[in-house]
Amino acid sequence: DALECRAHNENIRTGKLIILPSSFQGSPPHMQQNYQDAMTMVRKFGKPDLFLTFTCNPSWSEILNSMEGVQRPEDRPDIIRGLPHAHILLTLDSESKIRTKDDIDKFVSAELPDPCTDLRLFQIVTKCMIHGPCGTININSPCMRDGQCCKSFPKQFKDDTEENVNGYPIYRRRATEPVQVGKYSIDNRWVVPYNPWLLKKFNAHINVEVCASVKSVKYLYKYVYKGHDAASVKIQKEGALDHDEILSFVEGRYVSAPEAM
């Protein structure tokens, strides 16, 4: 119907229609079906409780130990190209559900830890969990779009956590004395939300967000099942509108060398 409607609007006849079935793994119909399956699970079991974005730390000892001689991490793109990362949704058991602002503060922090009481956590947060900085401090930061940070940093100071604002809480960020991180003076407005236990366990960038709605589910599966980069050029006869999903999948797909591995 969509093809016929498009052909009618363009005043051309309908050409060949070739469908790539959802049984073909990795095809757009297969990805769409996986998304629908995921949303069915959400309907049955409810929304997840935590959304984690876990990014590899190129300074992990396992990576550094794999370097031969005087190699640097950037010399081994086959290992750390693009900083391998994972998006994870977690559903907690009924006894551990996040129900109050105090529960949110137990799971997630958006503040600099006290170096006097937990120096290791302070070092990891200042190394792995500081956004930018950007804005007027650094207008050339990659997150800048039309003069504004696309991640809305720096955040506002806030004495208490606020629940469910557009699907996510607004975390507590108290106004404290800034600390020197590199050449910048940093305070709690620049801290990416994290879980202290996970940071000390894995020593990497792990953004932890409390899910207040199903928006995170839609974002995650849209991210995973959005399909591959594609680019193609072809010569097509005028007067007919063909729709060949197999040709689009085979000839239009762009896969870089690390992805192919």
Selection from 130-144, 162-176, 242-256 with the highest mean pLDDT? 130-144
Pairing of strands 13-18, 240-244: parallel
Q: Are 138 and 185 in contact (CB under 8 A)?
A: no
pLDDT at 152 over 80: yes
List own/partner pairs for 171-174 with CB under 8 A and 24 or more apart: 171/104, 171/108, 171/109, 171/110, 172/105, 172/110, 172/111, 173/110, 173/111, 174/111
135 versus 63: the higher-pLDDT residue is 135
Report pLDDT for 5.
Answer: 77
57 versus 226: the higher-pLDDT residue is 57
219 versus 107: the higher-pLDDT residue is 107
As a whole number of angstroms, the distance between CA 185 and CA 133 comes to 9
Report pLDDT for 186.
Answer: 94
What is the DSSP-derived secondary structure letter of residue 155? Answer: P
pLDDT above 70: percentage of residues in the chain: 81
What is the DSSP-derived secondary structure letter of residue 95? Answer: G
105 versus 216: the higher-pLDDT residue is 105
Report pLDDT for 192.
Answer: 97
Q: Which whole-number Å values give the CA distances from 254 to 20, 87, 224, 258, in the listed order?
A: 18, 22, 16, 12
pLDDT at 112 over 70: yes
Q: Which residues, listed in sequence order, are joined to residue 89 by a DSSP beta bridge?
A: 51
Task: Summarize the confidence of residues 92-114 as an average pLDDT.
Answer: 93
3-state secondary structure of 1: coil
What DSSP string describes 4-73?
HHHHHHTT-EEEEEE---TTSTTSHHHHHHHHHHHHHHHHHH---SEEEEEE--TT-HHHHHHS-TT--G
As a whole number of angstroms, the distance between CA 242 and CA 245 comes to 10
Task: Summarize the confidence of residues 174-180 as an average pLDDT.
Answer: 94
Residues with Cβ within 8 Å of residue 3, at least 6 apart in sequence: 14, 17, 241, 243
Residues with Cβ within 8 Å of residue 143, at least 6 apart in sequence: 131, 132, 134, 149, 150, 151, 153
pLDDT at 52 over 60: yes
3-state secondary structure of 235: coil
Find the range with the poorest average confidence among 116-125, 133-142, 190-199. Answer: 133-142
As a whole number of angstroms, the distance between CA 155 and CA 189 comes to 5
Selection from 20-29, 108-117, 178-187, 252-261 with the highest mean pLDDT? 108-117
Selection from 40-54, 75-89, 107-121, 247-261 with the highest mean pLDDT? 107-121
As a whole number of angstroms, the distance between CA 38 and CA 73 comes to 36
